[in-house]
C-alpha cells in the first residue's frame, strides 16, 4: 500500500483565537492586523474571519483597503504570545498520533499515518479524532486533507475550508484535481501562472493530458515537478527540519578574482537570498551571522556577529554581513570567494514574523 498523509491547517488561525476569547466577535467580520486609523492606517491584515473574507479581504490586504471594504468590521491588533501558546498546544495534540510529524509555520502540520491505519477509511477516522480533540482542547477548528503525498494532502486541506475533511484516494487524484485552477498547486503563484496561461494551460486538467517527456520539453524542471505532483509521485518525506544541523551556509567563488564592489555586493545579495529561501521554507531562526572571505592566494578570514534574540530577517542579515565586510573592503588584494553562514539555529519561534513585523513597525 502507498502512503497516507494528513495535512492539518487551522482555520483563520489568529482570528479564530480572538473570537474564542471574545465571544462577542463570533459570526462577525473580524480583522487581525494593523491599526486601520479610519482608513489612514498603514500596514496589512494578518488574517481575518471568513465573514470578513466575503468582503474581499484576505491576509496581506492593506489595512486601509480592508477598512474601505468593510468599515464596520472589528479590527484587533495581533497578540503573538497568545497565538504561540495555542499553536504549541495544537501541535502537541497532533504529534501524539504519530511520530512522523512536521510542523510548518504556526498553524500547519503534516502527519504521516501510513503505519497506524490500513486504509483511507481508517485515516478519515483519525483525522476526525484529531479535529475533535483540537476543538475540545483549544476551542478552534481546523481543516484536514488526507492523501498519498504531502502536496496532495495540502491541496486537500484547503479544499473544504473551514472545518472540513477532504480525503483523496490514489484512484481519485485526477478527478479531484481536474477542474482546479493551476494556482492551487503550491508553488504556482500569481506571478508564475502567466507562463502556463500563455500556453493555454489554466486548469490542472490541462496538465493531466500532457505526458512526462512533453512536460519536461515545455517547462523543464518545473514540468517534471508538476507531473509528479499531479500523478501522486511527489514523495517528499514527512520530517522535521533537523536542528542538529549546526548551520546553513553558502559561498561563491568568483570566475575571476575581483575588487569590483558592485559585483561583490550583488553576489552577497544573491547568496543571502538563497539562504533565506531555505530559512523561510523550514522556518528557521538564527542568532549568528558569519562572513567568510578568501583573497588571492587562499588567505581566508571569517568574521561573525551574534545577536541575543534569534531572527529570520534577510535584510538585517545583509546589513550585518556588509558591516563585517567593511574591514576588508579597502584592502588591495583581490577577492576570490565570499560566503555567508548562519548558525545558532532555532526552530521554536514559529511565527511568520516577517509579516508581523511589517505592521508592528509601521509608524
Is the CB of 313 or the CB of 355 nearer to ligand TTP?
A: 355
The H or E element spanning position 326 is helix 314-329
Q: DSSP 3-state assignment of 319?
A: helix
Q: Report, in Å, the least distance between residue 30 CB and ligand TTP.
A: 11
CA distance 149 to 236: 7
Q: Which does 51 bind (CB under 5 to 8 A by kind): Mg ion, ligand TTP, none?
A: none
Looking at the DSSP assignment, which residues form a beta bridge with residue 109?
8, 103
Looking at the DSSP assignment, which residues form a beta bridge with residue 302?
292
Q: DSSP 3-state assignment of 341?
A: strand
Q: Within 10 Å of residue 303's Cβ, how many Cβ atoms? A: 17
**Contacts of Mg ion in 83-142 (CB under 5 A):** 107
Q: Counting contacts by CB under 5 A, is residue 51 touching Mg ion?
A: no
User: How many residues touch ligand TTP (CB under 6 A)?
Assistant: 17
CA distance 271 to 299: 21
Q: Which residue has the cell 588571492?
A: 296
Q: Counting contacts by CB under 6 A, is residue 356 touching ligand TTP?
A: yes
Is the CB of 14 or the CB of 219 nearer to ligand TTP?
A: 14
Looking at the DSSP assignment, which residues form a beta bridge with residue 113?
none
Single out the catalytic residue among 108, 112, 133, 178.
108
> Taking the alpha carbons of 318, 319, 321, 322 in that order, is the dihedral positive or negative?
positive
Is the CB of 106 or the CB of 290 nearer to ligand TTP?
A: 106
User: How many residues touch Mg ion (CB under 5 A)?
Assistant: 4
Is the CB of 12 or the CB of 226 nearer to ligand TTP?
A: 12
Q: Counting contacts by CB under 6 A, is residue 352 touching ligand TTP?
A: yes
Where does 164-295 show beta strands of DSSP type E? 165-167, 247-258, 285-295
Does the annotation mark 38 as catalytic? no
Q: Counting contacts by CB under 6 A, is residue 7 touching ligand TTP?
A: no
Q: Which residues contact 57 (CB under 8 A, 6 or more apart)?
A: 29, 31, 45, 48, 65, 66, 69, 70, 73
Q: Which does 47 bind (CB under 5 to 8 A by kind): ligand TTP, Mg ion, none?
A: ligand TTP
Q: Which residue has the cell 472540513?
A: 164
Q: Counting contacts by CB under 6 A, is residue 212 touching ligand TTP?
A: no
Q: Which residue has the cell 504529534?
A: 95
**Contacts of ligand TTP in 127-186 (CB under 6 A):** 161-162
Is the CB of 165 or the CB of 318 nearer to Mg ion?
A: 165
CA distance 127 to 125: 5
Q: Counting contacts by CB under 5 A, is residue 10 touching Mg ion?
A: yes
Q: Report, in Å, the least distance between residue 13 CB and Mg ion.
A: 5
Q: Report, in Å, the least distance between residue 49 CB and ligand TTP.
A: 9
Is the CB of 130 or the CB of 201 nearer to ligand TTP?
A: 130
Q: Counting contacts by CB under 6 A, is residue 59 touching ligand TTP?
A: yes
Q: Counting contacts by CB under 6 A, is residue 248 touching ligand TTP?
A: no
Q: Within 10 Å of residue 254's Cβ, how many Cβ atoms? A: 16
Q: Which does 224 bind (CB under 5 to 8 A by kind): Mg ion, ligand TTP, none?
A: none
* Cα atoms in the Cβ-side hemisphere of radius 13 Å centred on 117: 23
Q: Which of 8, 30, 46, 91 binds ligand TTP (CB under 6 A)?
A: 46
Q: Inter-axis angle of helices 261-281 and 314-329, to 10 degrees?
A: 150
Q: Counting contacts by CB under 6 A, is residue 12 touching ligand TTP?
A: yes
Which residue ranges make up the site for Mg ion (CB under 5 A)? 9-10, 13, 107
Q: Which residues are known to be catalytic?
A: 108
Which residue ranges make up the site for ligand TTP (CB under 6 A)? 9-14, 46-47, 59-60, 106-107, 161-162, 352, 355-356
Amino acid at each position: 500500500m502507498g502512503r497516507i498523509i494528513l495535512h492539518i491547517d487551522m482555520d483563520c488561525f489568529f482570528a479564530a483565537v480572538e473570537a474564542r476569547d471574545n465571544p462577542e466577535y463570533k459570526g462577525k467580520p473580524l480583522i487581525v492586523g494593523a491599526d486601520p486609523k479610519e482608513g489612514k492606517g498603514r500596514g496589512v491584515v494578518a488574517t481575518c474571519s471568513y465573514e470578513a473574507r466575503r468582503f474581499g479581504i484576505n491576509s496581506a490586504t492593506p489595512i486601509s483597503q480592508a477598512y474601505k471594504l468593510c468599515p464596520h468590521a472589528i479590527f484587533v491588533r495581533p497578540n503573538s504570545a497568545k497565538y504561540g501558546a495555542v499553536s504549541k498546544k495544537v501541535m502537541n495534540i497532533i504529534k501524539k498520533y504519530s511520530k512522523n510529524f512536521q510542523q510548518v509555520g504556526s498553524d500547519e502540520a503534516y502527519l504521516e499515518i501510513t503505519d497506524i491505519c490500513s486504509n483511507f477509511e481508517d485515516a478519515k477516522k483519525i483525522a476526525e479524532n484529531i479535529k475533535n480533540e483540537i476543538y475540545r482542547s483549544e476551542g478552534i477548528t481546523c481543516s484536514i486533507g488526507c492523501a498519498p503525498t504531502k502536496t496532495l494532502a495540502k491541496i486537500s486541506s484547503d479544499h473544504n475550508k473551514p472545518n472540513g475533511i477532504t480525503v483523496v484516494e490514489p484512484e481519485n487524484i485526477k478527478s479531484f484535481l481536474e477542474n482546479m485552477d493551476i494556482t492551487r498547486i503550491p508553488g504556482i503563484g500569481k506571478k508564475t501562472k502567466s507562463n502556463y496561461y500563455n500556453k493555454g494551460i489554466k486548469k490542472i486538467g490541462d496538465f493531466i493530458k500532457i505526458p512526462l517527456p512533453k512536460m519536461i520539453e515545455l517547462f523543464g524542471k518545473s514540468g517534471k515537478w508538476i507531473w509528479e505532483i499531479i500523478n501522486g509521485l511527489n514523495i517528499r518525506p514527512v520530517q522535521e527540519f533537523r536542528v542538529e544541523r549546526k548551520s546553513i551556509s553558502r559561498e561563491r567563488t568568483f570566475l575571476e578574482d575581483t575588487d569590483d564592489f558592485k559585483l561583490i555586493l550583488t553576489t552577497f545579495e544573491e547568496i543571502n537570498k538563497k539562504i533565506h529561501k531555505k530559512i523561510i521554507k523550514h522556518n528557521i531562526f538564527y542568532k549568528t551571522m558569519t562572513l567568510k572571505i578568501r583573497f588571492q592566494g587562499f588567505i581566508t578570514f571569517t568574521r561573525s556577529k551574534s545577536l541575543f534574540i534569534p531572527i529570520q530577517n534577510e535584510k538585517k542579515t545583509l546589513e550585518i554581513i556588509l558591516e563585517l565586510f567593511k574591514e576588508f573592503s579597502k584592502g588591495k588584494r583581490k577577492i576570490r570567494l565570499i560566503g555567508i553562514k548562519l548558525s545558532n539555529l532555532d526552530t521554536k519561534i514559529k511565527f511568520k514574523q516577517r509579516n508581523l513585523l511589517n505592521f508592528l513597525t509601521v509608524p
